[in-house]
Chains A and B, each alone.
Chain A
Amino acid sequence: MNIIPAAWLAASLVLAAAGSSPIAGTRPQEAGQAARTVCGWLLLDADAFSCSPCISRDLGFIRDMPADLLRANLWIVVLYNPPQSNADEALRRRLISRRADAVLKAFHLDFPVVIDTTEKWRGFSAAGPALVVFDSVTRSARTFVLPFSPDDREAIRKILHRGDQPHGVPNRL
């Protein structure tokens, strides 16, 4: 578990936005969405969406979390390194979008999804799929690597409960 300064995270978010693309078909991506707050980012590698046991495991941990997390404004960030030169790149990207959309639907998870190609998020998930949660009291973000331990679950629950609503930081994506 890492504690990440909020400023670094915010900077990463701004940088990531340039190379991130929302997936059509998940939650509507509307102009007014910029005013919403986001309190967590689940970072998953694009390869997980080619492996049903992997994605079952990763999303299973999220689905088993307290209802607070499921109600929270969580974003799924799909980390994708496009090949340097590949004529099929556009198709690959659309395939990943389609798969992510379908898998979340199968798990009844209604979170927005972005595909990130900037590498800015990679550092947060160097140890594997990770959940980055923003702590509104300490103004810092904490990273929890899947699978969550009981301590992780408790810490996530506490962060989500800390302070009154709304928690989170403005969504810049």
Chain B
Amino acid sequence: MPTNTIACFFLGIWAALAPPAWPAAAATPTSPSAVKLGLEEVWSLGSLEDNKLIMWVGLAADDDGRLFVSDALDFSIKVFDSKGRVLLRAGRPGTGPGEFQAVRELAVSRDHVFVLDQQQPKVLVFDKQLRFLHAIPQPEPISCLRTLPDGTLAAALVPTGKGKRPSIWLADNRGRTLQEIEFGADAAHPAGDRASFVLSGRDVVLAYSFKNKVERLDRSGRVIWSKRLLNFPDARFKSVMGTKIPTEFVYKDIAVDRAGRLFVLGGGPAEHPSRDVYVLSPAGEMIGTIVLPDTTHLLHLDSRDFLYSRANDGLTIKKYRILFPAEPGPTPLKEPRP
């Protein structure tokens, strides 16, 4: 098994199983003025009464409103229409083309579906009919996968060896490198700079997994702003056999809406772990918080700003409308009498 796959696997295990190192008191947002935003459930997909989902892990919506979902315990990827009906399914256990051992994240572009499998050091490329096309070797283990509107693949690379910094890797659908944007300060422990990210306009916004840091970079890697969202110190590490191991996720995921607002999912130190979502302006000011009803590892916003998250340990996808406070606007004109 390749070294990077092993390292990636153990990093995930550490993060999932290590006991929390945080004090009993939960961390609170650094901005006390943040308002609580509401949620309205639009629909719920998957339940014990049907076989639509077993334990889903990755999700992305395309511009046509279809949902692409990876289902780890069904060893498959699936497509649902906007009403939650199953359109397509592909995959089975195995290591052959189009087969999965531990399917994880996915991302969709206009023409392709990019899929990660924890046990395979590749990006698996499918067409939108879920036909397997080819595999792209991962230059380093990938912690987060996205696409740009033009179909460019974007992945956060977390080197396993010392001396190299993590980066956002931009590539075409054949894996040819277009650009690498380096981030993180600690090349001696690059795994500590693992991050989720979104592409917002021309910038990249990172939510660090093991640091209390959300950061906006331009495409040259220059830091535009860097914020600590929680009243809490940086991530803690413990030493196992001489290796520094992070003990818990500080931030689990990040998403961006059409207005450029950022949605950051809090991890272990949050008041409601894996449920608190911190909403930031494009400039990084905290403008609100959301408390999800169920714990989730992922946030996704579609092209109409509907929010998707997980429930029932992966049996269910929830789709929400985010309710922002009404903003003062012009007085509506009265309807003229007929």
Residues in chain A within 8 A of chain B (CB atoms)? 49-50, 52-53, 55-56, 59-60, 91, 94-95, 98-99, 102-103, 106-107
Contacts and interface: CB of A to CB of B under 8 A. Distances in A.
Given A95-B48, A95-B313, A98-B54, A106 B92 contact: yes
Interface residues of B, number: 21
21 contacts: A50-B313, A52-B72, A52-B100, A52-B101, A52-B102, A52-B103, A53-B9, A53-B118, A56-B75, A56-B102, A60-B93, A91-B312, A94-B48, A95-B48, A95-B315, A99-B55, A102-B74, A103-B73, A106-B73, A106-B75, A106-B93
Interface in B66-115: 72-76, 92-93, 100-103
Contacts of A59: 93
B243 interface: no
Contacts of A55: 73
Contacts of A56: 75, 93, 101-102, 119
Given A55-B73, A99-B54, A106-B92, 11 more contacts: A52-B75, A52-B101, A53-B9, A53-B118, A53-B119, A91-B312, A95-B48, A99-B73, A102-B74, A103-B73, A106-B93
A120 to B, nearest CB: 26
Given A52-B101, A107-B93, A102 B313 contact: no
A102 B9 contact: no
A103 B72 CA distance: 10
A95 B312 contact: yes
Contacts of B76: 106
A91 B316 CA distance: 13
A50 B93 CA distance: 15
Contacts of B103: 52
A41 to B, nearest CB: 22
